[in-house]
Structure 1
């Protein structure tokens, strides 16, 4: 193992960005460095650590197994150091230029991001937020490394180091365009099955709605599908398809896209949406602020 005194901290910062971007030019732009400077830093790291670390492929600079193993600990160490240095002063939302990274699904972006952005515009004009689509082992690794400030949704297997709080529970609603010739509130299951449907195929953790549709006799492979929720209101507003989606998404898009809502004539388990953050940042004042505004804006009353 290389002695710590032989490693320049700046080299580890470049290593971390290479893990994220897999592209020397992108890292150079991100850090306001020249490409030769980033390439030289990579050469120095290779020499110190005794490994290629990144190999050029048609898909960019791919990390070696050794670089993958280093990624988590290095990211965690850099994040801890950054938060420690920032902790000299309490977080002041109205003055802070901090950028937060929040993991959420596409349906989460539609529901959460507009109101979070509006809150920042009013109360924290310098704060910025990035949303990311991560789940499973990828989300766990990024949270362990300190690269994700918050996750909002229904995630499992994040490990003992991640804390959580319930925001709300919700059911589902079926969207249809206003003027649809046959869709209406109170329609029977038989009539519902006879309609054409739009199915969200990659709906995790909302896959339970697809299971409920199948149990009710709606053959999913006989209908249209899209991989994500973001396209649903656009398609439903221009067709006679029905789409069964989370209630809060339906409420958010119905008026804007001139859509009607009906309670689907089938049983779908309620979906619970939680807030997740890493235990290491439980007392970080910026993270506390972000959690507090998310709860204040979105959480159901106790």
Structure 2
């Protein structure tokens, strides 16, 4: 398809960038603003593209425009190529984070955003103020293709399902713990399995929480815990935990990242739950990318600890 496009229309690099930007923003005014050109200039580009390709490419939507299927397919092919060109041009003098205006796209789960994002954002704002971070939370099945296509530059987490030409580096080793408020009746004694099962539990039904792991471990013992409240993410977990007699079983790093973990009693979970590695992942195609190298080293240095 790309060869057909080049036969029918002589696209400039700026136009290719504008096309992908419109697909991302889905708004001509915003794309024009980010390109530093007038909206009429963008509109004229779109008209020329439509004539050349014989497709509307963008149709009116409530708050802007929506790309057609042909535009979506074209952007998927163009975006990684444009990123490679951008990297090649910016790295002629080496990657300088203090001067770079690059956009990095990073996959983090909800727990990753809770634990790592504030510190990473603060570091980037201080040491690389021109760099922009775009955080995504892709489905597990989309991670490998996301790294391969350039939809994301890095993926952070415990992601053993990622295969293919993907490299990774361990920067944390984690275990599961059980947390409760300090005034909880069970906080005064060693937590055993019978007391754990008999207690009321708060559960976070998210892939990053280990909820299903706990349920499977109990089921293997022919045991069942009483889950009084299930929530989909960590947003309200701390507030609920400190004002109730619930137990919460999650990775240790999640509890330590709460606003006031000292208000909690954090103990080993009385279940044989596996520990796990937290890794930063990148694709083979970006192995020599100095920007990605800088970002993954930054993440490891900021958050890494090895036990």
Larger deviation, residues 135-144 vs 75-84? 135-144
Partner Cα separation in structure 1 for residue 55 and residue 256 of structure 2: 53
Residue 108 of structure 1 deviates from its aligned partner by 0.8
- Contact kept, 8 Å, 1:203 with 1:228, in 2: the verdict is no
Match of 1:203? 207
Q: 2:177 aligns with which of 170, 173, 188?
A: 173
Query: What corresponds to 2:254 in structure 1?
Result: 249
Q: Equivalent of 2:266, from 261, 264, 280?
A: 261
Contact 1:72 1:141 in 2 (8 A): no
Query: 1:1-302 residue pairs with structure 2 within 5 A?
Result: 1-3=4-6, 6-57=10-61, 61-120=65-124, 123-136=127-140, 138-155=142-159, 158=162, 160-184=164-188, 186-204=190-208, 206=210, 207-212=212-217, 215=220, 217-219=223-225, 222-253=227-258, 255-256=260-261, 258-301=263-306
Structure 1 CA distance for aligned equivalents of residues 29 and 176 of structure 2: 45
**Could you tell me how far 1:185 is from its partner in structure 2?**
5.6
TM-score by length of 2: 0.83
What are the ranges of 5 or more consecutive residues in structure 1 without an aligned counterpart? none
Partner Cα distance (2:83, 2:176) in 1: 39
Q: For residues 23 and 72 of structure 1, do their structure 2 counterparts lie closer, same or farther at Cα, with a shift above 3 Å needed?
A: same
Q: Are 1:237 and 1:257, in contact at CA under 8 Å, matched by a contact in 2?
A: no
> How far apart, CA to CA, are the structure 2 residues paired with 1:178 and 1:237?
8
TM-score by length of 1: 0.84
Unaligned stretches of 5+ residues in structure 2: none
- 2:119 and 2:149 map into 1 onto residues whose CA distance is 27
Give the conservation status (yes or no) of the 8 Å contact 1:170–1:271.
Answer: yes
**CA spacing shift, 1:66–1:124, aligned 2, 3 Å:** closer
Q: Which moved more, 1:246-255 or 1:21-30?
A: 21-30
Q: Offset at 1:136?
A: 3.5
Q: Cα distance, 1:57 vs. partner?
A: 4.9
What is the deviation of 1:152?
0.6
Distance 2:209 2:161 in 1: 13
Task: Specify the SS of the correspondent of 1:87.
Answer: helix
